[in-house]
């Protein structure tokens, strides 16, 4: 294909004096060509989990962001744990890259077919076709009963439909299967809040913040709950 380098050239191991710059440049070439298969092979040949983890915790921010992206491509439980830890990285860009990589890993956890159906359900929710989204996710869960993202997305659909009890059940199941799923904890907190169960809502939202301190909107949700209860929000709203 025009624009592709020969795969053999790109899969050669780095020399002993490899640099962070060479790692970033190599990964960018695969991303530019939308060549995920080649990137997977390249990583398998040249980089293991411990080396990618060292890059994430190193001083080179662009290398850390790139390593987070790569862990999302590779997947695996150990990589997910590393990415979860990177959500608290000092650099917001690294934390954002880790979040993106986690979503990628979570959507892919049950295979390409299940991912396509969950993606279809997300699109149905964007069109406000919540019943159809739930039906689609019911089918995914029947085939993959231990797929956390299917439960999380069905929880979102049920929440948007006003089915608070069903939403809480799904968010609970997602968080049981994947205790690091910050969005499932946050969704459960918001569903509890809508039901007036403010204590449980705060506990769930704080769990989300402990996992992902920068997760969008959670601190605001905590402040709103404090206001609804008639208390002033604490200075640090996750306290």
- Could you tell me the CA-to-CA distances from 57 to 67, 70, 83, 103 in Å, in that order? 10, 14, 11, 20
Structural domain 112-228, CATH architecture: Alpha Horseshoe (1.25)
Q: Can you give the residue ranges of every domain in the chain? A: 7-107, 112-228
CB hemisphere CA count around 143 (13 angstroms): 13
The residue to which tokens 């968080």 are assigned: 175
Residue 111 CB partners (closer than 8 Å, separation 6+) = none
Q: Band the pLDDT of 75: cuts 50, 70, 90.
A: confident
Q: Band the pLDDT of 108: cuts 50, 70, 90.
A: very high
State how far Cα 113 lies from the chain centre: 19
Look at residue 140 and tell me whether its pLDDT is greater than 70: yes
| Residue, of 44 and 120, whose pLDDT is higher | 120
Look at residue 238 and tell me whether its pLDDT is greater than 80: no
pTM comes to: 0.85
Which pLDDT belongs to residue 231? 63
Look at residue 146 and tell me whether its pLDDT is greater than 80: yes
């Amino acid at each position: 294909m025009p624009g592709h380098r020969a795969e053999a050239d790109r899969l050669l191991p780095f020399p002993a004096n490899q640099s962070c710059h060479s790692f970033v440049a190599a990964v960018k070439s695969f991303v530019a060509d939308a060549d995920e298969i080649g990137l997977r092979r390249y990583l398998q040949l040249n980089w293991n989990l411990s080396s990618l983890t060292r890059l994430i915790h190193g001083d080179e921010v662009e290398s850390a962001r790139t390593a987070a992206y790569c862990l999302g491509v590779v997947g695996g439980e150990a990589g997910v744990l590393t990415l979860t830890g990177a959500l608290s990285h000092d650099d917001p860009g690294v934390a954002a890259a880790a979040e993106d990589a986690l979503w990628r890993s979570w959507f892919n956890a049950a295979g390409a077919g299940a991912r396509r159906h969950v993606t279809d359900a997300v699109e149905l929710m964007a069109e406000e076709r919540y019943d159809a989204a739930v039906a689609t996710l019911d089918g995914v869960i029947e085939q993959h009963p231990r797929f956390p993202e299917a439960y999380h997305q069905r929880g979102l659909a049920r929440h948007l439909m006003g089915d608070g009890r069903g939403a809480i059940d799904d968010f609970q199941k997602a968080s049981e299967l994947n205790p690091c799923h910050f969005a499932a904890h946050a969704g459960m907190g918001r569903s509890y809040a809508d039901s007036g169960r403010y204590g449980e809502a705060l506990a769930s939202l704080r769990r989300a913040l402990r996992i992902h301190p920068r997760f969008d909107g959670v601190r605001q949700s905590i402040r709103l709950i404090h206001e609804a209860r008639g208390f002033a929000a604490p200075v640090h709203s996750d306290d």
